[in-house]
């Protein structure tokens, strides 16, 4: 899942904006004009359409038709766009309008250069693994989702949660505490990092299981191969628990529910900034060597 060149010409670009962000609208106006002058068809999401006074469409519509998606906002906007793209392998270029993001690593000043490279077929992509997440209750599937960041099980009350965990059919551990995070390399710098998990580079075919405030301090994060299949059975000590996928899809879990997580055959493709390496991003965001 390392760097690769995009196959095929880019004839259409989808512009997706962070809601109520005037800075995103200003960048969108400039890029919309620049692309139109080069004969590129621009498809606007509803928010972009509102600011540019043209017809806008649902992001799922834009993602199904554009050859390249440009997400103007930040990491949250990019995650939302990736979710709407679903299993379609459309490349996504994330533009961060604030401080440098872990995912949206292109700045507005770098955007035109990144688009020039993309139109010339000279941009590079990183394919980031995703999870397929499924919840089963008494043999029936009650929830399915595709995760770019993580699948998080947490307690819904004040009492601890027991999560029996198996990997590839073998018993792994029963985690007792506030919950459990299963994160992709992309999600390793999100909630998992805050809970003490390791940083995984985005090209890795692996994921990490990170306990949240474990009752037993010897229960530490574990990195598994990307081919692993994780099964978690949930035993809340109160009525229910909670599953959140990428912080955008959720399900209430009852005692005995099974949460299954496995690598997806549909990775997400992101345009890599030509101006910096992954370690440049980490040094900037985490202030390595600056404190």
Spatial strand order in the sheet of 131-137: 140-147, 131-137, 258-263, 229-236, 161-167, 170-177
73: its two tokens: 């906002």
User: Active-site residue 246, yes or no?
Assistant: no
Q: Do 106 and 95 meet the contact criterion of CB atoms below 8 Å apart?
A: yes
Strand partners, 69: 14, 92
Q: Do 246 and 268 meet the contact criterion of CB atoms below 8 Å apart?
A: no
**Catalytic residue chosen out of the listed positions 75, 150, 246, 257:** 75
Contacts for 71 with CB less than 8 Å, ≥ 6 apart: 16, 77, 78, 80, 81, 92, 93, 94, 95, 104
177: its two tokens: 């505490």
Q: How many helices (H) and strands (E) does the chain have?
A: 7, 19
* b/e burial code for range 146-173 (CB count within 10 A of at least 16 → b): bbbbbbbbbbeeeebbbbbbbbeeeebb
List the one residue out of 128, 239, 248, 230 whose CA is nearest residue 180: 230
Please list the active-site residues: 75
């Amino acid at each position: 899942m390392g760097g690769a060149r995009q196959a095929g010409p880019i004839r259409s670009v989808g512009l997706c904006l962070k809601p109520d962000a005037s800075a995103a609208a200003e960048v969108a106006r400039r890029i919309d004009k620049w692309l139109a002058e080069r004969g590129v068809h621009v498809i606007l999401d509803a928010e972009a359409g509102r600011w540019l006074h043209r017809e806008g469409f649902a992001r799922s519509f834009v993602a199904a038709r554009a050859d390249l998606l440009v997400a103007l906002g930040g990491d949250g906007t990019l995650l939302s766009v990736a979710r709407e793209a679903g299993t379609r392998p459309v490349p996504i270029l994330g533009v961060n309008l604030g401080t440098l993001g872990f995912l949206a690593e292109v700045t507005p000043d770098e955007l035109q250069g990144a688009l020039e490279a993309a139109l010339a077929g000279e941009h590079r992509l990183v394919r980031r693994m995703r999870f397929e997440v499924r919840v089963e209750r008494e043999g029936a599937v009650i929830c399915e989702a595709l995760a770019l960041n993580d699948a998080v099980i947490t307690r819904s009350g004040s009492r601890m949660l027991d999560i029996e965990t198996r990997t590839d059919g073998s018993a792994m551990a029963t985690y007792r505490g506030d919950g459990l995070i299963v994160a992709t390399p992309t999600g390793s710098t999100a909630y998992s990092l805050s809970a003490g998990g390791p940083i995984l580079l985005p090209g890795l075919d692996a994921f990490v299981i990170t306990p949240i405030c474990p009752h037993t301090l010897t229960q530490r994060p574990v990195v598994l191969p990307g081919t692993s299949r994780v099964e978690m059975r949930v035993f809340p000590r109160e009525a229910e628990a909670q599953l959140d996928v990428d912080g955008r899809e959720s399900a209430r879990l009852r005692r005995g529910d099974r949460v299954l997580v496995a690598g997806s055959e549909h990775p997400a493709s992101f345009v890599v900034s030509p101006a910096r390496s992954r370690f440049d991003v980490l040094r900037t965001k985490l202030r390595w060597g600056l404190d």
